[in-house]
Amino acid sequence: MATLPLLLLLRSPAAGRWVAGAAAFASTPGAVFLPSLLILLSMALPSIGGKNPAYYLIFFLLGYAAMAHPSFREEIELRAPRALLVAILCAPALVGWLWPLGRRVAPFTWQVTGVGLVMSLSTWSWIVALAGFASAHLRRDSRALGYVTQVSYPFYLLHLLILTIVAHAAVAAKAGVWTKFLGITLLTILSTLLACELPVRRTRLGKFLFGLKPAEGVG
């Protein structure tokens, strides 16, 4: 709700011309990776209660903009293989060198900036790669895709609560680390899917609370 005025502004004719211009610029080689700089800048802003609202707002607005013009979607599909390569190359740099280095130095040094830049580039590259491949290969209508489309948002909202409950119970269990990890993962996925199916999709109140259309019945 807080971003509704901004989203309405982006739907105005003037903003539409700006989005069209940005979509044309996105075809420039390397331009698809520039949003990682916005992500980096948002990381430098203060957090509230351990969370950085500007960081998540950037992803929200970038996702909205990416769907606002067909050229963005086409460019993301085209750049998906290259973005996947960049994301894979960033992983060893973060794990093996930049991340440990950044944790040993004071804030706001070039090392920490380097860590943040590679983290931002890695995060955005994974998003471009996954979104591009999904857009190119998941366009066909199917029963499974329709179901996933319905439950994706309720799943997102419920999974953390269920994960916390399952993990709290698993900590006291006498089992190895990998056994606990697999148990927590499987139980969280299955329990969240069950919660999405029974109290959400199969009741009018559940559909209303989680933003599902009333006509979306049992699939």
pLDDT digits (tens, 9 = 90+) for 1-41: 667 777 777 777 777 777 777 777 877 888 889 999 999 88
Domain ranges within the chain, ordered by starting residue: 4-137, 143-209
Residue 170 has pLDDT above 80, yes or no: yes
Please state, in angstroms and as integers, the Cα–Cα distance from residue 193 to each residue in 117, 186, 190, 198, 208, following that order.
36, 11, 5, 9, 18
- Helices 70-93, 110-137: axis angle to 10 degrees equals 130
Whether this prediction's pTM lies above 0.85 is answered by: no
Average of pLDDT values for 86-110?
69
Q: Phi, psi (5° rounding) for residue 194? A: -65, -40
pLDDT of the residue at 216: 47
pLDDT of the residue at 215: 58
| 98 pLDDT tier (thresholds 50, 70, 90) | low
Inter-residue contact 144 to 134 (CB < 8 Å): no
| 115 pLDDT tier (thresholds 50, 70, 90) | confident
Which of residues 101 and 181 earns the better pLDDT score?
A: 181
pLDDT of the residue at 163: 94
pLDDT of the residue at 184: 94
Strands (E), 18-103: none
pLDDT of the residue at 217: 45
Give one word for 30, left, alpha or beta, with left for phi > 0 and alpha for psi -120 to 50.
Answer: left
Residue 104 has pLDDT above 70, yes or no: no
pLDDT of the residue at 218: 44
Residue 87 has pLDDT above 90, yes or no: yes
pLDDT of the residue at 89: 92
Residue 125 has pLDDT above 90, yes or no: yes
Provide, rounded to the nearest whole percent, the portion of the chain with pLDDT above 70.
88
Provide, rounded to the nearest whole percent, the portion of the chain with pLDDT above 90.
25
Mean of the per-residue pLDDT values of the chain: 82
**Long-range contacts of the stretch 207-213 (C-beta < 8 A, 24+):** 210/153, 210/154, 210/157, 211/153, 212/150, 212/154
Residue 147 has pLDDT above 60, yes or no: yes
Please spell the DSSP secondary structure of 148-183, one letter per residue: HHHHHHHHHHHHHHHHHHHHHHHHTS---HHHHHHH
| 186 pLDDT tier (thresholds 50, 70, 90) | very high
